[in-house]
Structure 1
Amino acid sequence: MSSEQTNIQEPKYINPYLGGVLLGLLVLATVFITGRGLGASGAVKSAVVTTSNTIAPKATEANAYMCQFLSDGHSPMNTWLVFESLGLLLGGILSGIVFGRMKKFRIDKGPQISNKKRLILALIGGALFGLGSQFGRGCTSGAALSGTATFALGGVIVMFSIFGTGYLVAYFFRKFWI
């Protein structure tokens, strides 16, 4: 092993088994305290409705979907889901600072793909996932993780669908990572 390889440090992450147990306890505590599980797509929806209402209030009020999130004296941003998502963002940044992963922006990818293509594919995948979360009435944390934790049949179906689809399409995208 050359000295160049020994100087490369792998990023430090929490033990995945401990992380899984902590995540399970967090879901349990969230269900106990709030009566519902975790989720992030509701925060994005709140941000979209607020932005739309700021830019074009009449169009937002005329939109059958978005108008249901508007009320006098109550901002769509004043929901615990927004604060949960901000906490996730700040917690990720804090973790990156504490464990030395914030030194340089990096793009995780395979050797067969350029940085530009990786970012474009990530943007497309994120947009499709966001669209799917609206069709599924929640993101993976809301629909799959919390749904499964509360023994909801829909949550179990979503969980199997997410992982099943991932395994089915992984074959076609493997060249980007190998």
Structure 2
Amino acid sequence: MRPLRSYADPHLAGVCLGLVLLACFALTGQGLGASGAFASVASGVISNVSPETAAHSAYFRSYLQDGSPWTAWIVVEIVGVLIGAAVSAALAGRTRSMFVRAARPSAGKLFASVAGGILMGIGAALARGCTSGLALSGGAVLSVGAWIFMGTLFLAGFVAAPLVRRLWP
């Protein structure tokens, strides 16, 4: 087995991420994000499985009106993220499959993890964007809503951390 190499320097990675965001704005007029890709793919699946449902839903129609949801910018971006992650893992020698068990697995940890993910998904839908989209793209264009969201997110994390800390040793 090859020895694991360290991850990229976080400061260099942050600068590179900023340059990628700048290039995205300059070349495509789009920012970075993630949650819209899942909504686009879900809309595409619904329109293929049940065209009547997609036609009668304003939510699904909003993702279907600009052509194929499969070729939406954000879907292409997420495919690129997956490919980039695989290449990065291969270059760092971190492609070994493994299952990591929690120190003390419990139903409480599973519930808290699923509930947190659901709450983040609901928050992304209400905020009209995911954390990465709001923080990176919204913050980069100095959107007041993005800065309020990020401040609220960090505040909520600090408030919630002591409440859920007992779940993780």
TM-score between both structures, scaled by the size of structure 1: 0.82
Per the TM alignment, residue 108 of structure 1 is displaced from its structure 2 partner at its CA by 7.2
Residues 96 and 40 (structure 1 numbering): CA distance in 2 closer, same or farther, change over 3 Å? Answer: same
Equivalent of 1:81 in 53, 74, 82: 74
Per the TM alignment, residue 21 of structure 1 is displaced from its structure 2 partner at its CA by 1.3
- The structure richer in helix per residue is 2
1:163 aligns with 2:154: yes
Unaligned runs of 5+ in 1: 1-8
Supply the distance in 2 between the matched residues of 1:71 and 1:85 (Cα, whole angstroms).
20
Say whether the 8 Å CA contact 1:144–1:159 is kept in structure 2.
yes
Per the TM alignment, residue 175 of structure 1 is displaced from its structure 2 partner at its CA by 2.5
Residues 41 and 120 (structure 1 numbering): CA distance in 2 closer, same or farther, change over 3 Å? Answer: same
Counterpart amino acid of 2:85?
A: G
Counterpart amino acid of 2:56?
A: A
Runs of 4+ in 1 over 3 A off after TM superposition: 106-109, 115-124
Say whether the 8 Å CA contact 1:40–1:141 is kept in structure 2.
yes
Could you say which residue in structure 2 is the equivalent of 1:29?
23
Say whether the 8 Å CA contact 1:145–1:159 is kept in structure 2.
no
Identity %: 37
Counterpart amino acid of 1:126?
A: G
Supply the distance in 1 between the matched residues of 2:162 and 2:78 (Cα, whole angstroms).
32
The two structures, once aligned, show a CA RMSD in angstroms of: 2.3
Deviations 1:72-92 (A, max 9, x none): 9x3111111111001111211
Could you say which residue in structure 2 is the equivalent of 1:12?
6
Say whether the 8 Å CA contact 2:109–2:168 is kept in structure 1.
no
Say whether the 8 Å CA contact 1:43–1:81 is kept in structure 2.
yes
Aligned residues: 167
Equivalent of 2:42 in 42, 48, 55: 48
Say whether the 8 Å CA contact 2:4–2:94 is kept in structure 1.
no
Counterpart amino acid of 2:57?
A: N
User: What is the 5 A alignment of 1:4-153?
Assistant: 12-71=6-65, 74-107=67-100, 109=102, 111=103, 113-114=104-105, 118=109, 121-153=112-144
